């Protein structure tokens, strides 16, 4: 039995959550959704996946929890599973653009660019294509070295509404992934100002600054580790930074201008 078997759930009426004691928060779908978001911002994608699953145990038609669960599968490198769960989610939300876009992102990471483009085309053709649709579109186009990818990130931010901080973080992460460090820097600096307790935001900022040859990268990565001690990706990035000589850092700063 693999970890994904635990993602199976019953309808909301099929399994009752345990009763809360007086003064304890009600452990409903929103409780676990908020918990999942906190885990995500800490870079703990495994725990976020579990919490999204528990949210769906309480409410099987909670779109944001479905979408979050699929995104965490992608973060964990479980691309075929992400596609399966996107299809399962669309049983409740047929042809929802955000779920189709999630399939596009999963296919792209799974080295299936043509499928990714097809799903992305389909997602933006639907009504009410939101910011996650445009983030996925940006990735698909950046993979093809298209400059339109940056326009799609801007579109995602314009469509973000109250989710602008989350979309800004994701846009910054995409820019880092595709080597657009100068563009990512502004987005990630804004993110850590809004969410100073997000280890993930500090980690991504530190990675970005390191690629640009900025000395501030060390402090950003150390902050990520202070917020989440012993986090392997941040520790590894900090170790790489310490082994980068001053000449190479100066070279990176020069070409970042």
In terms of Cα–Cα distance, which of 152, 93, 103, 150 is closest to 127?
A: 93
pTM metric for this prediction:
0.86
CATH superfamily of 182-257: Tetratricopeptide repeat domain (1.25.40.10)
pLDDT digits (tens, 9 = 90+) for 102-130: 999 999 999 999 999 999 999 999 988 99
Separation of alpha carbons 6 and 57, rounded Å: 10
In terms of Cα–Cα distance, which of 76, 68, 134 is closest to 104?
A: 134
pLDDT digits (tens, 9 = 90+) for 136-187: 999 999 999 999 999 999 999 999 999 999 999 999 999 999 999 999 999 9
First to last CA, the chain: 51
């Amino acid at each position: 039995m693999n970890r994904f078997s635990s993602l199976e759930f019953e309808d909301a009426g099929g399994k009752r959550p345990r009763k809360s004691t007086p003064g304890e928060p009600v452990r409903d779908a929103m409780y676990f959704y908020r918990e999942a978001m906190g885990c995500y911002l800490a870079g703990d994608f495994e725990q976020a996946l579990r919490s999204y699953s528990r949210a769906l145990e309480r409410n099987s038609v909670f779109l944001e929890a479905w979408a979050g669960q699929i995104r965490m599968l992608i973060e964990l490198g479980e691309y075929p599973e992400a596609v399966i769960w996107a299809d399962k989610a669309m049983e409740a939300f047929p042809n929802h653009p955000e779920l189709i876009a999630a399939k596009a992102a999963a296919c792209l990471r799974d080295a299936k660019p043509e499928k990714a483009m097809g799903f992305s085309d389909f997602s933006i053709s639907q009504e009410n294509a939101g910011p996650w649709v445009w983030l996925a579109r940006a990735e698909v186009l950046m993979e093809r070295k298209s400059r339109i990818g940056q326009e799609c990130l801007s579109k995602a931010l314009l469509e973000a509404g109250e989710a602008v901080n989350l979309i800004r973080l994701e846009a910054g992460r995409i820019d880092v992934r595709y080597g657009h460090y100068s563009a990512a820097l502004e987005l990630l600096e804004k993110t850590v100002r809004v969410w100073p307790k997000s280890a993930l935001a500090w980690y991504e900022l530190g990675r970005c600054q390191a690629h640009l040859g900025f000395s501030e990268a060390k402090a950003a990565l150390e902050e990520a580790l202070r917020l989440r001690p012993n986090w392997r990706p941040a520790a590894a990035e900090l170790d790489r930074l310490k082994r980068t000589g001053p000449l190479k850092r100066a070279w990176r700063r020069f070409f970042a201008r």
